[in-house]
């Protein structure tokens, strides 16, 4: 007996060793064989990071696991990921494998954390069609073959924590299952059996950009009778939960070779109005268990027909409620007298023929009643809408009757009495003549907060009149920030703005007492990129958010406006008139006029925030404006002419500029290009305000720039690459001194100027003047010379280079020329005197002799003057 137990022990030990060793020896070969077999038979690349094969851990079952599995498509979906699966596990009876039977029953099949993306392109190609076609067709055998008796059974399967996305571009349809958990238990080896399933997921269904289901939670515990030979699945007594709406349903689905046949009936198990609140996604509806309700609500319908490439089942769905009421216990108000009658139908099996009749919608909050009705046809193609609305709705009551979390707090009273008829194609193609509307919509005491505006907008009163295809904004008064404004005009596409996500278009007249431009700029936060790989010496740990002002993107409008005061940055413009066109995040200004700094301006140009770097271009005229106020209040002028802050008077200028803007819409000085023409009408100079003028005053005697009175001085400037280039212009200091100015300065305050100063020689200083005066018979006050002066450095610390040597040389040359002229005049006088004093008779008698003597005397005199004594 001991030997028998010993033998059994040895056999068990060998079996355990075999179960441990066999997977180790055959794993790599098995893995390579499975991978090659899969990839040879499908048009996709299948791979996984790890394969586990165990005969011991799940004994007496064999366990196979694949981890980090990927299925990558080939053409025509080259590189797309069809499936990414974290874990695939299956278990099978070990004895069945050892017996080699053709009937294999899988005990367990598990898929965990799968992300499956199914695509159908516009040509109808599907990325799940990855099975390769046989290269050589199979010919029928002349002799009958034995029937293949291999069967694969399954007892339990499970898909957990997965996401499945189906996107069909050919029909513009998207179906999404998120957080998908589904499991079933049954016998798939039998031709007929019963299958028990549990499903819990979030469903979204969008077609033609209309979301019929949006993250609706569905819970379904369903039992089926399965006929696998006929592929018919019959629903037994089942209940589903859509969000918090219970539904009971029965019927069947049969999958044929080319079609799918469906017949289903469903209804609410009771008529409690609580069922209506259950339709709303739980995120918005919150807990409805304690909500007080009265009245009835019911949904019933039937779906019957076939599904193929061109057809869907016909269906009829009815939703009704009568004299209902609900109130959340935590909120102060209730909704009363709720009537609802909606029919959703398709009678042909063609998707485009689906229609919705809103036969009645009515409710009351306090004493405010609202009702609507309408018809919606061709909702999957060119939706045709015929809608009537009438009543009053206090918007502040919405949060007092329903626990909705709004991005902005609503206030105001909306009144409507309107009938409208339009189709979506006409809206999208802007064929407004096909839109028929009548009635009016009013809004009072409304407040609105949006990312498109810097401050909340308060609309005190608004009234819109509809007359066939015309929409008139009869009145709109609003305040926001520092702004007050009144609007009237025409709206071109109010239906397109409300229903087709179009920009709001129109022409409006605007009048305002105070209009602040900054109130209508959007402040957004952008991430500043981290340092690149090439510059990681000082890497940034976090990206820095940066505020950016944007022009509203939803406007396509022209505003003709007048305003007593317009505030832009730190400027207060008075008596402003002009036209503003906003489109595509660009504001174009036309013929803007305003009073400013004692004069007036005229402006044309545009500002665009469409691209990442905002840009501007402008033509600006400033007429008879105070210099000090202008150059103090307008930062750009300070950069163009920093020295102008020393002037006290009036000027005019014409500027043409373009360049980039910062994200807060201030000019990037280095990007400016353009030109300017400026005229100083009359101004006094305050040299003590400028280090440059103070140095110039100190270096040149008698200059006295403080006494300078500029009048009708003009200058032309060009802007490029951060430099202001000044064409030569003249400044008359007084009747004796004139300065010609030319050169350039940078927006970084650097200077590179050349001054040509024409001034009396006495200005050069006493030493130079007295020494040179000894050689001259004239006072140097009357002798003008040119003094070249180079200016470098910057306006804060200027460097002056006075070319005294050149000025002295010029003065010396003038004195020499003066002496030469004097000596020449003296020689002429002496010769004439000598000739005139000779006796005429003596001259006749001794003509030849006298002429020679005179000639010799003249030579001696000239030699004495211009010879050694120069």
Q: What is the pLDDT of residue 79?
A: 87
Local confidence band at 642 (pLDDT 50, 70, 90 cut-offs) = confident
Q: What is the pLDDT of residue 704?
A: 67
Q: What is the pLDDT of residue 728?
A: 85
Tokens standing for 763? Answer: 């200005």
Local confidence band at 866 (pLDDT 50, 70, 90 cut-offs) = very low
Local confidence band at 391 (pLDDT 50, 70, 90 cut-offs) = very high
Q: What is the pLDDT of residue 847?
A: 54
> Which residues lie closer than 8 Å to 69 by C-beta, 6 or more apart?
46, 47, 48, 83, 84, 85, 86, 88
Local confidence band at 17 (pLDDT 50, 70, 90 cut-offs) = very low
Q: Give domain status of residue 483, yes or no.
A: yes
Q: Identify the residue with better confidence: 16 or 523.
A: 523
Whole-angstrom CA distances from 684 to 644, 687, 828 are 11, 9, 52
Give the pLDDT confidence of 777-835 residue by residue, as tens digits. Answer: 455 566 777 778 888 888 778 887 877 777 777 777 777 766 666 666 666 665 566 45
Q: Give domain status of residue 707, yes or no.
A: no
**Residue range 201-216: average pLDDT?**
77
Tokens 């996401």 appear where? Answer: 163
Q: What is the pLDDT of residue 743?
A: 84
**Residue range 842-849: average pLDDT?**
50
Give the pLDDT confidence of 352-386 residue by residue, as tens digits. Answer: 888 999 999 999 999 899 999 999 988 777 888 89
Q: Identify the residue with better confidence: 198 or 280.
A: 198
**Residue range 166-172: average pLDDT?**
81
DSSP for 353-388, written as a single string = G-EEEEEEEEEEETTEEEEEEEEEESTTSS-EEEEE
Domain boundary among 594, 617, 652: 594
Q: Is the pLDDT of residue 774 over 80?
A: no
- What's the number of domains the chain is made of? 2
Tokens standing for 504? Answer: 């709001």
Q: What is the pLDDT of residue 6?
A: 45
**Residue range 480-488: average pLDDT?**
90
* Beta bridge mates, 411: 447
**What is the SS3 assignment for 685-750?**
ECHHHCHHHHHHHHHCCCCCHHHCEEEEEEEEEEEECCEEEEEEEEEECCCCCEEEEEEEEECCCE
Tokens 């280079």 appear where? Answer: 801
Q: Identify the residue with better confidence: 359 or 652.
A: 359
**Residue range 21-45: average pLDDT?**
64
Residue 794 DSSP code: B
**Which of 31-40, 350-359, 731-740 is least confident?**
31-40
> Which residues lie closer than 8 Å to 859 by C-beta, 6 or more apart?
none
Q: What is the pLDDT of residue 184?
A: 87
Q: Give domain status of residue 537, yes or no.
A: no
Local confidence band at 228 (pLDDT 50, 70, 90 cut-offs) = confident
Q: What is the pLDDT of residue 358?
A: 93
Q: Is the pLDDT of residue 322 over 80?
A: yes
Q: What is the pLDDT of residue 333?
A: 92
Give which of 406, 431, 409, 434 is closest to 420, Cα–Cα: 434
Q: Is the pLDDT of residue 59 over 60?
A: no
Whole-angstrom CA distances from 524 to 399, 521, 568, 848 are 28, 10, 19, 109
> Which residues lie closer than 8 Å to 828 by C-beta, 6 or more apart?
none
- The whole-angstrom separation of Cα 568 and Cα 636 is 14
Local confidence band at 156 (pLDDT 50, 70, 90 cut-offs) = confident
- The whole-angstrom separation of Cα 94 and Cα 65 is 15
- The whole-angstrom separation of Cα 234 and Cα 192 is 11
Local confidence band at 263 (pLDDT 50, 70, 90 cut-offs) = very high
**Residue range 207-226: average pLDDT?**
78
Q: What is the pLDDT of residue 529?
A: 45
Give the pLDDT confidence of 295-317 residue by residue, as tens digits. Answer: 888 899 999 999 887 888 999 99
Q: Give domain status of residue 839, yes or no.
A: yes
Q: Is the pLDDT of residue 225 over 60?
A: yes
Residue 23's Cα: distance from chain center in Å? Answer: 57
**Residue range 130-137: average pLDDT?**
62
- The whole-angstrom separation of Cα 182 and Cα 185 is 11
Give the pLDDT confidence of 62-105 residue by residue, as tens digits. Answer: 777 888 988 888 888 888 888 898 998 877 765 555 554 455 56
Q: What is the pLDDT of residue 249?
A: 84
Tokens standing for 752? Answer: 């590179």
Q: Give domain status of residue 563, yes or no.
A: yes
Q: What is the pLDDT of residue 133?
A: 65
* 189 in Cβ contact with 141 (< 8 Å): no
**Which of 194-208, 451-465, 510-524 is least confident?**
510-524
Give the pLDDT confidence of 561-617 residue by residue, as tens digits. Answer: 899 988 877 778 889 999 989 888 888 888 989 888 888 888 898 888 888 888 888
Domain boundary among 576, 594, 612: 594
**Residue range 709-720: average pLDDT?**
78
Neighbours of 672 (CB within 10 A): 22
Q: Give domain status of residue 773, yes or no.
A: no
Local confidence band at 281 (pLDDT 50, 70, 90 cut-offs) = low
- The whole-angstrom separation of Cα 514 and Cα 286 is 45
Q: What is the pLDDT of residue 537?
A: 41
Q: What is the pLDDT of residue 179?
A: 93
* 346 in Cβ contact with 354 (< 8 Å): yes
Q: What is the pLDDT of residue 271?
A: 78
Domain hosting 471: range is: 407-526+546-594
Q: Identify the residue with better confidence: 736 or 505.
A: 505
Q: What is the pLDDT of residue 818?
A: 65
- The whole-angstrom separation of Cα 348 and Cα 411 is 45
Q: What is the pLDDT of residue 496?
A: 72
Q: What is the pLDDT of residue 13?
A: 43
Q: Is the pLDDT of residue 152 over 60?
A: no
Q: What is the pLDDT of residue 868?
A: 41
Give the pLDDT confidence of 514-539 residue by residue, as tens digits. Answer: 988 777 665 554 444 444 443 444 44
Percentage, residues of the chain above pLDDT 90: 13
For the chain, what is the radius of gyration of the CA atoms? Answer: 48
Q: Identify the residue with better confidence: 733 or 866.
A: 733
pTM metric for this prediction: 0.59
Q: What is the pLDDT of residue 258?
A: 82
Q: Give domain status of residue 855, yes or no.
A: yes
Q: Give domain status of residue 767, yes or no.
A: no
Local confidence band at 1 (pLDDT 50, 70, 90 cut-offs) = very low
């Amino acid at each position: 007996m001991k030997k028998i137990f010993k033998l059994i022990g040895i056999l068990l030990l060998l079996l355990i060793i075999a179960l441990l060793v066999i997977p180790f020896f055959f794993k790599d070969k098995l893995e390579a064989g499975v991978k090659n077999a899969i990839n040879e038979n499908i048009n996709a690349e299948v791979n996984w990071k790890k394969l586990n094969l165990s005969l011991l851990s799940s004994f007496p079952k064999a366990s196979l696991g694949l981890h980090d599995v990927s299925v990558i498509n080939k053409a025509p979906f080259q590189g797309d990921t069809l499936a990414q699966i974290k874990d695939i596990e299956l278990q099978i009876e070990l004895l069945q494998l050892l017996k080699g039977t053709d009937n294999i029953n899988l005990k367990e099949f598990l898929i965990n954390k799968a992300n499956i993306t199914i695509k159908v392109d516009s040509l109808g190609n599907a990325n799940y069609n990855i099975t390769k076609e046989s290269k050589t067709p199979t010919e029928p055998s002349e002799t009958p073959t034995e029937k293949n008796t291999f069967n694969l059974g399954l007892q339990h399967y499970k898909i957990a924590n997965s996401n499945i996305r189906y996107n069909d571009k050919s029909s513009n349809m998207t179906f999404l299952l998120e957080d998908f958990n589904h499991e079933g238990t049954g016998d798939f080896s039998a031709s007929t059996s019963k299958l028990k399933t549990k499903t819990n997921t979030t469903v979204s269904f969008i077609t033609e950009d209309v979301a019929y289901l949006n993250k609706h939670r569905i819970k379904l515990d369903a039992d089926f009778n399965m006929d696998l030979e006929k592929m018919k699945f019959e629903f037994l007594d089942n209940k589903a939960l859509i969000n918090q709406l219970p539904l009971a349903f029965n019927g069947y689905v049969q999958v044929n070779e080319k079609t799918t046949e469906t017949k289903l009936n469903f209804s609410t198990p009771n008529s409690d109005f609580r069922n209506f609140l259950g339709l709303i996604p739980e995120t918005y509806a919150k807990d409805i268990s304690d909500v007080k309700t009265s009245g009835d609500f019911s949904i019933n319908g039937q779906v019957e027909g076939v599904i193929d490439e061109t057809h869907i089942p016909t269906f009829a769905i009815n939703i009704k409620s009568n004299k209902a009421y609900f109130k959340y216990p935590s909120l102060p108000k209730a909704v009363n007298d709720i009537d609802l009658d909606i029919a959703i139908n398709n009678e042909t099996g063609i998707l485009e023929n689906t229609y919705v009749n809103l036969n009645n919608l009515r409710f009351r909050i306090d004493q405010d009643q609202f009702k609507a009705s309408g018809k919606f046809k061709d909702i999957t193609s060119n939706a045709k809408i015929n809608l009537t609305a009438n009543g009053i709705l206090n918007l502040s009551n919405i949060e007092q009757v329903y626990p909705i979390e709004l991005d902005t707090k609503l206030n105001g009273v909306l009144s409507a009495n309107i009938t409208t008829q339009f189709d979506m194609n006409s809206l999208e193609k802007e064929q407004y003549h096909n839109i028929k509307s009548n009635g009016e919509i009013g809004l009072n005491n409304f407040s609105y907060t949006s990312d498109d505006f810097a401050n909340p907008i308060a609309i005190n009163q608004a009234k819109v009149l509809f007359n066939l295809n015309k929409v008139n904004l009869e009145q709109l008064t609003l305040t926001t920030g520092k702004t007050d404004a009144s609007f009237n005009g025409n709206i071109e596409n109010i239906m397109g703005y409300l229903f087709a996500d179009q920009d709001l278009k129109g022409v409006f007249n605007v009048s305002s007492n105070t209009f602040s431009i900054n109130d209508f700029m959007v402040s957004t936060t952008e991430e500043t990129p981290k340092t690149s790989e090439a510059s990681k010496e000082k890497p940034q740990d976090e990206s820095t958010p940066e505020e950016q002002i944007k022009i509203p993107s939803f406007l396509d409008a022209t505003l003709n406006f007048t305003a007593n005061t317009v505030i832009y940055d730190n400027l207060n413009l008075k008596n402003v008139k002009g036209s503003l066109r906003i489109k595509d995040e660009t504001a174009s200004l036309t013929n803007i006029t305003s009073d400013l700094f004692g004069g007036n301006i005229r402006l044309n140009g545009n500002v665009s925030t469409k691209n990442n770097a905002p840009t501007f271009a402008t033509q600006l005229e400033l007429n008879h404006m105070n210099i000090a106020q202008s150059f103090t209040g307008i930062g750009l002028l300070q950069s163009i002419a920093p020295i102008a802050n020393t002037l006290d008077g009036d000027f005019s200028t014409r500027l043409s500029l373009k360049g980039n803007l910062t994200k807060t819409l201030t000019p990037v000085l280095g990007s400016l290009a353009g030109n300017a023409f400026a005229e100083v009408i009359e101004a006094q100079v305050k040299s003590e305000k400028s280090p440059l003028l103070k140095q110039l005053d100190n270096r040149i005697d008698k200059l006295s720039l403080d006494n300078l009175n500029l009048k009708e001085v003009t200058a032309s400037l060009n802007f490029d690459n951060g430099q202001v280039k000044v064409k030569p212009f003249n400044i008359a200091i007084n009747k004796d001194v004139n300065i010609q100015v030319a050169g350039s300065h940078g927006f970084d305050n650097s200077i590179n100027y050349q001054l040509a100063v024409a001034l009396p020689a006495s200005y050069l200083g006493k030493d130079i003047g007295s020494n040179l005066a000894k050689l001259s018979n004239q006072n140097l006050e009357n002798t003008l010379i040119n003094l070249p002066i180079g200016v470098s450095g910057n306006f804060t610390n200027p460097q002056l280079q006075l070319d005294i040597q050149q000025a002295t040389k010029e003065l010396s040359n003038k004195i020499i020329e003066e002496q030469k002229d004097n000596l020449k005049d003296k020689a002429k006088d002496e010769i004439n005197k000598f000739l005139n004093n000779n006796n005429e008779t003596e001259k006749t008698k001794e003509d030849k002799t006298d002429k020679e003597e005179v000639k010799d005397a003249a030579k001696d005199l000239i030699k004495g003057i211009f010879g050694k004594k120069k």
